[in-house]
Amino acid sequence: MFIRAPKDFWSGLMFLAFAAVTIVTASGYSMGRGGRMGPGYFPTLLGIVLAVLGTILVIRSLIIHGDRVERIALKPLVMLVGCVVLFGMMIKPLGLIIALPVTTFLSAFAGDDVRWREAIGLSAGLTLLSLIIFVYVLGLPLPVWPDL
Amino acid sequence: MMDVLSNISLGLGVAATFQNLLYCLIGTFLGTVVGVLPGIGPVTTVAMLMPISFTLEPVSALIMMAGIYYGAQYGGSTTAILINIPGEASSVVTSLDGHQMARQGRAGPALGMAALGSFFAGTVATFVIAFGAPPLAKLALQFGPAEYFSLMLCGLVAAIVLARGSIIKAIAMVVVGLIFGLAGSDVNSGIRRFTFGVQGLADGIEFVALSMAIYGVAEVIVNLEKKDGAAGIAGSIGKVLPSWADIKLCIPSVLRGTALGSVLGVLPGGGALLASFSAYTLEKKVASEPRRFGQGDIRGVAAPESANNAGAQTSFIPMLTLGIPSNPTMALMIGALMVHGITPGPRVMTDRPELFWGVVASMWLGNLMLVVLNLPMVGLWVRLLRMPYRMMFPAIIGFCCIGTYTINSNVTDIAVMAAITLFGYLCLKLDCEPAPLILGYVLGPMMEENLRRALLISRGDPTIFVSAPISLGFLIAAAALLLIVAAPAIRQRREEVMVE
């Protein structure tokens, strides 16, 4: 293929995809007229601008040479996003007392240099600290214990 | 003049209550502690510590957030000097001469001079705000929707032009941010836009989830793949107080840096970054022996440090008077104010004078605290610097999760954070800077509203934007900025300055 600037090419495609979703979704809202802008007016306008920008990026990437995309670090990406999702799934039924140490302990494994004891100590310490700061001092409404 | 004095005394009355002094102290302390940790920049620090302020009164919350911000800024400079890892772009130049000084065993005077210069700059900048903000707010009160729309457009363009990287990508990121900002219930029609049937998205994409995803989780992932070895810390720090000779040498540099920083900070997109770069360049031009710069010249620390502190502070002016963020940190501040139900804009000063002047006064007190805090505590910072990243990032993830959840006790926000993390990481991989996205997100709803109102007044005639003189002026400024940057010569120069 003739992609000369992969980074620009893929970002152009990303913006085009984003623009497509925006325009299609916004077409479900009333456009209104200039004097009475409907809820679909501004998003559609933005979608069109984004589509133009995406197209420029893609076309330019076929002409001008540019950077390659570096390798994607799959392990930290999947693990950390997974940890965030896991926290979301655990916080209500199980409470902070379980959700937080599990999340922080597992997220420690996203790095290359993992030390078991350190990770256990860290997650325990963080949980204690968070309980003190967020729950007892600041009184934020967090479920602390499992909801049985 | 009398007005300003009475306003400042009103502010001091608010800021100097025991409670607010305490929050200011906690803010500057926490900001410095987290900002010193290598790999955590000021924006991440502010984003991560934001939830702490949610339960406070709006005034106290803003005072604390401001404290966190300049604490983090100073902490970043400490890291730059001691281990040559600037926490944020604005302290890159500090590391040039600062780290050289540290390697020569003069880290102490470098840190001390940075603190003293910052304090002086902060004091001046506080007065710049006190004198400059009221007339600007008065002017802004006369702006109609057309002027506002054009002003925001101009602000966004300026922010893009002064950012780094590809301009087309930056504009596209702004547009994505604007679209993100529109999600949720439309104020006028009540229709839910871009919620894709998800109940939890009715109020839109939560700002905290967005900022934590990008500046918290995605940033951690990027840091983890860098895998740089442990940084060497300079052994001996030396005396912290700079000698009288050092101070005398630095006085003109501090003055120049402060003046430059105060002016540049007000510009959209300026803030601390542009200020410190320009100040350093200016010092190099003015100095009789420019070759000494880069080899541990104390003036190379004093000038950019004064400039970035002055700039960091005066960047509050457009945020507090116009409601327009000039950099991501100010966007975070606006987000935090909105959490408290306050929409920043020219009315804040008249409707909530205690908020405005309390924050201004607290900035000066906060700067004083920074000096008092930093000079004796350098030893502690050095120990914090030795903290390995593997001990820090799980904590960042944990705090991001807690912070995002507590804002609405809504699990959807966590899911949003996870999704935006994926998107944010992709953007970082493709060299699409996330800062314009955050600015766009904050301005999205306001731009739509002002566009709608302007067109309502003109009955759909779009020429209203060019027929109103002030609005036309903003548009011309925006177009001129874009054209200037598109010019190849200047473009090259801009890249040089940013890369240096």
Q: How far apart are CA B28 and CA B373, in angstroms?
A: 9
Q: Which residues contact B499 (CB under 8 A, 6 or more apart)?
A: none
pLDDT at B233: 57
Q: Which residue has the tokens 């700059």?
A: B121
pLDDT at A87: 93
Q: How far apart are CA B107 and CA B232, in angstroms?
A: 13
A55 and A91 housed in the same domain? no
Identity of the residue in A26, A81, A113 whose CB atom sits nearest the CB atom of B422: A81
How far is C-alpha B408 from the geometric centre of its chain's CA atoms? 25
Q: Is residue A68 part of a domain?
A: no
A10 and A59 housed in the same domain? yes
Q: Which residues contact B493 (CB under 8 A, 6 or more apart)?
A: none
- Find chain A residues with C-beta within 8 A of B458's C-beta: 35
pLDDT at B496: 53
Check A92 against B411: CB less than 8 A apart. yes
A20 and A48 housed in the same domain? yes
Q: Give me the number of domains chain A comprises.
A: 2
A58 and A78 housed in the same domain? no
pLDDT at B436 over 90: no
A47 and A87 housed in the same domain? no
Question: Residues of B numbered 426-465 whose beta carbons fall under 8 angstroms of chain A's beta carbons: which are they?
Answer: 426-427, 429-432, 447-448, 451-452, 455-456, 458-462
Looking from the CA of B342 toward its CB, the CA atoms found within 13 Å total 26
Calculate how close chain B gets to A26, using CA atoms only, in Å. 8
Mean pLDDT of B205-226: 86
Mean pLDDT of B193-203: 82
pLDDT at B499: 47
Q: How far is CA B363 from CA B11, B74, B434, B446, B452, in A?
A: 10, 14, 28, 28, 37
In this structure, of B23-27, B380-384, B436-440, the range with the lowest mean pLDDT score is: B380-384
Cβ of A113 under 8 Å from any chain B Cβ? yes
Check B401 against A110: CB less than 8 A apart. no
Q: Is residue A145 part of a domain?
A: no
The encoded tokens of residue B286 equal 């003015």
Question: Residues of B numbered 39-78 whose beta carbons fall under 8 angstroms of chain A's beta carbons: which are they?
Answer: 51-52, 54-55
**pTM to 2 decimals?**
0.83
Q: How far apart are CA B495 and CA B329, in angstroms?
A: 23
Per-residue pLDDT of A12-31, as tens digits, reads 999 999 999 999 998 888 88
**DSSP string of B279-297, one letter each residue:** HHHHHHHH-S-GGGTTS--
Query: Which of residues A14, A44, A63 is at a domain's end?
Result: A63
Considering chain B, what is the average pLDDT of its residues? 82
Chain A residue at shortest CA distance from B197: A25
Contact B411, B200 (CB under 8 A): yes
In this structure, of B128-132, B270-274, B323-327, B399-403, the range with the lowest mean pLDDT score is: B270-274
pLDDT at A101 over 90: yes
Per-residue pLDDT of B161-197, as tens digits, reads 766 678 888 899 999 999 999 988 887 777 888 888 7
Confidence of residue B487 (pLDDT cuts 50, 70, 90): low
Looking from the CA of A139 toward its CB, the CA atoms found within 13 Å total 2
pLDDT at B426: 92
What is the domain range of residue A30? 6-63
- Find chain A residues with C-beta within 8 A of B402's C-beta: 96, 100, 130, 134, 140, 142
Q: Is residue A58 part of a domain?
A: yes
Q: State what percent of residues in chain B have pLDDT above 90.
A: 8
Q: How far apart are CA A116 and CA A93, in angstroms?
A: 27
Cβ of A123 under 8 Å from any chain B Cβ? yes
Q: Is residue A142 part of a domain?
A: no
Closest CA relative to residue B11, chosen from B281, B272, B316, B377: B316
Q: How far apart are CA B300 and CA B287, in angstroms?
A: 10
pLDDT at B490 over 80: no
Identity of the residue in B175, B193, B397 whose CB atom sits nearest the CB atom of A29: B193
Cβ of A120 under 8 Å from any chain B Cβ? no
The encoded tokens of residue B10 equal 């009103």
A107 and A55 housed in the same domain? no
Q: Pairing relation of β-strands A36-37 and A32-33? A: antiparallel
Which amino acid is present at B29? F
A89 and A54 housed in the same domain? no
The encoded tokens of residue B160 equal 């893009």
Q: How far is CA B230 from CA A117, B128, B441, in A?
A: 21, 41, 36
- Find chain B residues with C-beta within 8 A of A86's C-beta: none
- Find chain B residues with C-beta within 8 A of A84's C-beta: 217, 397, 400-401, 414, 417-418, 421
Per-residue pLDDT of A19-75, as tens digits, reads 999 999 988 888 887 678 888 889 999 999 999 999 999 998 888 887 888 888 888
Per-residue pLDDT of B334-389, as tens digits, reads 888 888 888 888 888 888 888 888 888 888 888 888 888 877 887 787 777 777 88
A78 and A132 housed in the same domain? yes
A108 and A58 housed in the same domain? no
Confidence of residue B500 (pLDDT cuts 50, 70, 90): very low
Confidence of residue B55 (pLDDT cuts 50, 70, 90): confident
Check B460 against A118: CB less than 8 A apart. no
Contact B65, B30 (CB under 8 A): no
Check B391 against A105: CB less than 8 A apart. no
Contact B306, B278 (CB under 8 A): no
Q: Is residue A109 part of a domain?
A: yes
Q: How far is CA B142 from CA B87, B148, B464, in A?
A: 40, 10, 16
Length of chain A: 148
pLDDT at B232: 56
Check A50 against B186: CB less than 8 A apart. no
Considering chain A, what is the average pLDDT of its residues? 88
Cβ of A61 under 8 Å from any chain B Cβ? no
Q: How far apart are CA B98 and CA B110, in angstroms?
A: 6
Q: How far apart are CA B309 and CA B261, in angstroms?
A: 7
Substitution target in B193, B206, B401, B410 with the highest count of A β-carbons within 10 Å is B401
A57 and A88 housed in the same domain? no
Contact B154, B482 (CB under 8 A): no
A57 and A83 housed in the same domain? no
Burial of B139 (0-12, 13-18, 19+ CB in 10 A): middle
Identity of the residue in A53, A85, A122 whose CB atom sits nearest the CB atom of B418: A85
Q: Is residue A148 part of a domain?
A: no
Q: Is residue A144 part of a domain?
A: no
Contact B72, B215 (CB under 8 A): no
Q: Is residue A128 part of a domain?
A: yes
A86 and A105 housed in the same domain? yes
